[in-house]
Every structure is written in structure tokens, then in C-alpha cells.
Amino acid sequence: MLVDSFQRTHDYLRISVTEHCNLRCAYCMPYDGIVPAPQQSLLTDSELLRLARIFVRLGIRKIRITGGEPLVRPKIEPLCAELARIPGLEELALSTNGLLLEEKLPALWHAGVRHLNISLDSLRADRFRQLTRRTTLDRIIRAIRAAVQFRSTRGGAFDWIKLNTVVIRGVNEDELGDLIEFGAQLRQLASTDGPKIEVRFIEFMPFPNNGWDASACVTYQEMRAAIHSHYVLEEAFGDSHIAGPARRFTVQDKDISVGFITTMSDQFCGNCNRLRLTADGTLRTCLFGSSEMNLRDFLRSDASEDQVEAAIRSTLALKWEQHPSVQELIQMNSREMIAIGG
Ligand code: SAM
Ligand code: SF4
């Protein structure tokens, strides 16, 4: 098991498979882009799989593939299939902006992906363009609907479809109700044994050059108050036995849930079970920094599995108890979100 100095067991690994993206979300990707790491510094498929197998042997039970945009990585479907086959792995999830999703749905499902998180920050074309600097909202909505209705040739569906919205004051904070209604419409599109639907609202977090400002961050408490006047929310338990970070509620009469990621206003570090592996093979114990170790260099220097395991454990031992205050985070964050993998 992977247990840190504060007795937190880590069973959830988020793997970023690329720093590239086909959208330009202002809150994630700096306006001028980032200088991407040279190709040779990124993990190859076989290096990534080797590390994933070691992590699963050490107690990881859930892997989420993320990025950048994971679906731009060549041969992502066979990579997912290899990950899903690792003995001991219980859940394979993927986060995507949805742009390339529709055509890849069958291959991803057959590869073993059952949980999809799809970013959707606005239902309005003008806002979507302002936020992502692209005009592809229709294509993404089509992909979301296709994912909800997807059936394999043998009748299988996705287990969970979650929509992720970063809520920014003055930009999209007035769309919470519309997004809940959109989620409810999706639920009606799906058959009764189709995927469960969750609409998730994420507090805007500070990263280098992402335009963050304290006044732009809409807190969990504000979002709940706004929703409360129109919907009855009832506390829900985790979406799987491997906990994610969201506070979850069912929405009365809608057959969907609403989740909130409350990183800024209400830290959930005490229950943190997550580790991150960046596309260049760096193990990161917290989204906001804390301890880091480049595991790629171990693999490339022919380190044994025991040496890689020791490197993982020594990095985990340095994980902080909780992330620092917002002011400190702004000073210290060194990597852009796109280069960490959200
Ligand atoms: N490209 C994929 C996507 O957009 O879902 C996966 C990678 S993206 C970095 C993962 C998640 O991080 C997305 O849900 C995105 O909205 C979220 N994210 C990015 N920057 C953020 C920020 N500054 N604050 C809060 N969430 C952010
Ligand atoms: Fe790309 Fe996802 Fe970041 Fe948007 S949030 S720029 S889609 S990686």
C-alpha cells in the first residue's frame, strides 16, 4: 500500500499522457501557449505502462488518463487497453475536452474505459469561444450526447459521464441552472441502465499566467446558494469506492448528481488519495506542488523495480499535510495546469 506520513492511503493515480491540446482554455493554457517539453523527454508507451504496473502493484486501484488533451496522443486507445489489462486495476477513467471523442467512443469503451469526464464550461457559443478560443461547441455537445447514448455491439454502456465546468465570475456563473438542466436532459436521452450523469462545478484555481484573480473565483458556498433557490440537493456518497475529490449531491426529481470541487474554499487534503504522473514521468504528490520526483530517469538508467518503488515511497513520504494558502500558491506554482494534468 502507498501510505504517506499522515496515514493517507493512495489508491488513485492520474496520468497525464500529453502536454498538447486542441483547445486553448484561458484558465488552463497561457495565451502564448507553453514551451512543450521535447518529445524525447516524454514517457513512451512502454515506459508509461511499466510505471503504471509498478503503481498498481503498490496499491493503485484507479487510474485516470488526462493531459493536456489525452485524445490527441497517437494510439491512445491501445494504450488504454493495456492499462485496463493490468491485474489489480479496478477502474480506468479518462478526462477529455470532447473534441475528438465522438469518433473514438467505441474504441475507448472496448479498451476498458468506463468513466468519462468531459469539460463543458458554457452552453453558449459566444462564451465557449471566449473561454476556449475555439468555435467547436456544437461538436462537443454532439460527442457528449453520443457518449450518453453509446451502446457497444454487445449492449454495454459507459458507467459514468461527468461534465466538468470551471466556474468563473463574470463569465459563466449564471449558467449553473442551465448546466443542471442540460445534465437532466442527457439523463433522459440515456436508457435506464445507461450511464449515471453528474454535473460538476469546479472552483477556479491559480496557475501561472492563467488570469486567476481572487475576485473571479466563485466559491462552493456561493454556487450552492445559487442552486439552492431552484433545486433540492441531497448529500450523496462517492461515485465509486475509490473516492474522488468532489462533494456530491443528488438533485431531487432530476435523476442526476451535482458535484463540487472545492479546492480553494474548503480543502479536502485530509482525505487525499491521489498521486499524479506528468507526461515527462514526474511523480507529483499534490496538484499544487509539494514533493516531485522524475521517475523517467530511473527507468532510463535501468533502475530495478525495487529502486523505482523506493523512489516512489520516498517522494510520497514528503507529501505535505495540506496545500498552502491561496496567496502562497500564487507565488509558488511553477507549472501550468496544462503541463501538470488536471
Ligand atoms: N483536456 C482535458 C479536459 O479539458 O478535460 C483534460 C485535462 S484538463 C487540465 C482537466 C481538468 O482541469 C478540466 O476539467 C479543466 O476544466 C480543469 N482545469 C484546468 N485549469 C483549471 C483551473 N485553473 N482551475 C480549475 N480547474 C481547471
Ligand atoms: Fe486543453 Fe483541457 Fe486545458 Fe482546456 S482544460 S486547455 S481542453 S487541457
Measured CA to CA, the distance from residue 128 to residue 175 in angstroms comes to: 12
CA of 200 to the centre of ligand 1 (A): 12
Distance 11 CA to ligand 2 centre (A): 25
Distance from residue 96's CA to the centre of ligand 1 (Å): 9
Task: Please tell me if the CB atom of residue 71 comes closer than 6 angstroms to any atom of ligand 2.
Answer: no
Binding site membership of 11 for ligand 1 (Cβ less than 6 Å): no
For residue 66 and ligand 1, the question of a CB distance below 6 A is answered with yes
Q: Residue 243: what pLDDT?
A: 65
- Burial class of 192 by CB neighbour count within 10 A (0 to 12, 13 to 18, 19+): exposed
As a whole-number percent, the residues of the chain with pLDDT over 70 amount to: 93
CATH no. for 2-340: 3.20.20.70
* Interval between CA 27 and ligand 2 midpoint (Å): 8
Q: Per residue in 188-226, pLDDT tens?
A: 999 888 999 999 999 999 888 888 888 999 999 999 999
> What is the DSSP-derived secondary structure letter of residue 127?
H
Closest ligand 1 atom, CA of 16?
7
**CB of 131 sitting under 6 A from ligand 2:** no
CA-derived radius of gyration, the chain? 19
- Which grid cell is 213? 484573480
Confidence of residue 29 (pLDDT cuts 50, 70, 90): confident
Q: Whose CA is nearest to atom 21 of ligand 1?
A: 28
Mean pLDDT computed over every residue of the chain: 91
Cell of 167: 466556474
Helix (H) or strand (E) holding 334: none
Question: 285-330, pLDDT tens digit by residue?
Answer: 988 776 789 999 999 999 999 999 999 999 999 888 887 777 777 6
Strands 247-251 and 256-261: antiparallel
Which H or E run includes 183?
helix 176-189
Pocket test for ligand 2, best of 71, 96, 97, 200 (most atoms within 8 A of CB): 97
pLDDT digits (tens, 9 = 90+) for 39-91: 999 999 999 999 999 999 999 999 999 999 999 999 999 999 999 999 999 99
207 Cα: distance to centroid of ligand 2 (angstroms):
13
pLDDT at 1: 93
- Cα of 209 from ligand 2 centre, angstroms: 14
Asked if 266 and 223 touch (Cβ cutoff 8 Å), the reply is: no
Q: Is the pLDDT assigned to residue 340 strictly greater than 90?
A: no
Instruction: Decide: 210 in ligand 2 pocket, CB within 6 A.
Output: no
Mean pLDDT over residues 230-240, rounded?
Answer: 83
Q: Is the CB of residue 199 below 6 angstroms from any atom belonging to ligand 1? A: no
CA distance 327 to 306: 39
Q: Check pocket membership of 15 for ligand 2, CB cut-off 6 A.
A: no
**Residue 113: C-alpha distances to residues 55, 79, 107, 277 (Å):** 18, 11, 9, 19
pLDDT at 248 over 80: yes
Residue carrying C-alpha cell 442540460 = 182
Q: Which secondary-structure segment (H or E) carries 237?
A: none
Residue 264 is predicted with a pLDDT of: 86
State residue 241's pLDDT score: 61
Q: Write out the E strands in the chain.
A: 12-16, 62-66, 91-96, 115-119, 160-167, 196-203, 233-235, 247-251, 256-261, 274-277, 282-286, 289-294
Q: Of all atoms in ligand 1, which is nearest to the CA of residue 164?
A: 14
Tens of pLDDT, residue by residue over 96-148, are 999 999 999 999 999 999 999 999 999 999 999 999 988 899 999 999 999 99
* Residue located nearest, by CA, to atom 8 of ligand 1: 342
Name the residue of 20, 28, 66, 204 to mutate for ligand 2: max ligand atoms within 8 A of Cβ: 28
